[in-house]
Structure 1
Amino acid sequence: MPARTISAYADEETARVVEQIAELEDRSPAQIAAAALRFYARLPSEARAAFRRIEKLGTDEDLDSLTRAITRKTLDAEWEVAHRRFIGGMTGVPVPSADEGVDENDLLAKAVRLTQ
């Protein structure tokens, strides 16, 4: 996909942290910024609006709490993806994501087929 350059202004502390992350991850600050923008752009408008309200009205502790919650969900999602890929690779049977409904009858039928 062709890329475009866009500009953003950041306070000194944020710019310093982005530079540190970039160095630690052996990436450019632009790559870090692009990843952050991809994440933000994928959020529904309600989540972006809530984040802006928390930034405006909340405390640093509120933002830290939000960051911890997002971190937990991100790590949970990474585990789910790895688990799904591992099990699917072992069995050759695609494993639905946690967000997809699992039909208990389908699950039982697949278990029976696997044990035969």
Structure 2
Amino acid sequence: MPGKTISAYADAETARRVEALARIEDRAPSQIAAAALRFYLRLPPDAHDAIRQVEALGDAHDVEVLVETMTRDLLKARSEVSLRKMADAMAERGIGAGLDDEAAIEAEAVRLTRPGRWRR
């Protein structure tokens, strides 16, 4: 998809952090900025307001709590996507079929950990 260059002012600390992250991720600073904008623009207006208000009315601790909360939710979402993808892949291969209760899961675990099971 064709893009368009836009510019934005960033304070020296933000610019330094963008450049450092770009080096760590082996990406251009513009790619970091574009990813941040894509995420921010997907948030609803109420989230934009909440971010601005916490930054304006809160202190550094309040901002850190906001960041930690968002990070926890992002990691939880990533985990849920990964688990769903793994479950879908297992179902496609027929892995885990019939493991609908604790007794079936326990029996399968015993079968899989039986001595000699993984020898060729």
Same fold? TM cut 0.5: yes
In 2, distance between residues paired with 1:80 and 1:35? 21
1:48-59 to 2 correspondences below 5 Å: 48-59=48-59
Q: Which amino acid aligns with 1:86?
A: M
User: Residue in 1 aligned with 2:7?
Assistant: 7
Partner residue in 2 for 1:62: 62
Q: Distance in 2 between matches of 1:2 and 1:84?
A: 32
- Aligned pair 1:44/2:44, yes or no? yes
Question: In structure 1, the residue corresponding to 2:4 is in which secondary structure?
Answer: coil
Normalising to structure 2: TM-score of the pair?
A: 0.76
Deviations 1:52-99 (A, max 9, x none): 111111111110000001111111111111110011011029xxxxxx
Length, aligned pairs only: 97
1:24 Cα deviation from its structure 2 partner: 0.2
The answer as to 2:29 corresponding to 1:29 is yes
SS at match of 1:65: helix
Partner of 2:110: none
Give distance in 2, aligned partners of 1:2 and 1:92: 36
Query: Runs of 4 or more off by more than 6 Å in structure 1?
Result: none
Aligned counterpart, 1:96: none
| Residue in structure 1 matched with residue 106 of structure 2 by the alignment | none
RMSD of aligned Cα (Å): 1.7
Structure 2 runs not aligned, ≥5 long: 100-120
Higher relative contact order (CA 8 A, sep 6+): 1
The aligned runs of 1:32-111 (5 Å cut-off) are: 32-92=32-92
Shift of the alpha carbon at 1:50? 1.1
What is the aligned partner in structure 1 of residue 20 from structure 2? 20
Q: Percent identity?
A: 51
Match of 1:115 among 94, 98, 108: 98
Between the aligned partners of 2:50 and 2:77, the Cα distance in structure 1 is 22
Structure 1's unaligned 5+ residue stretches are: 94-110
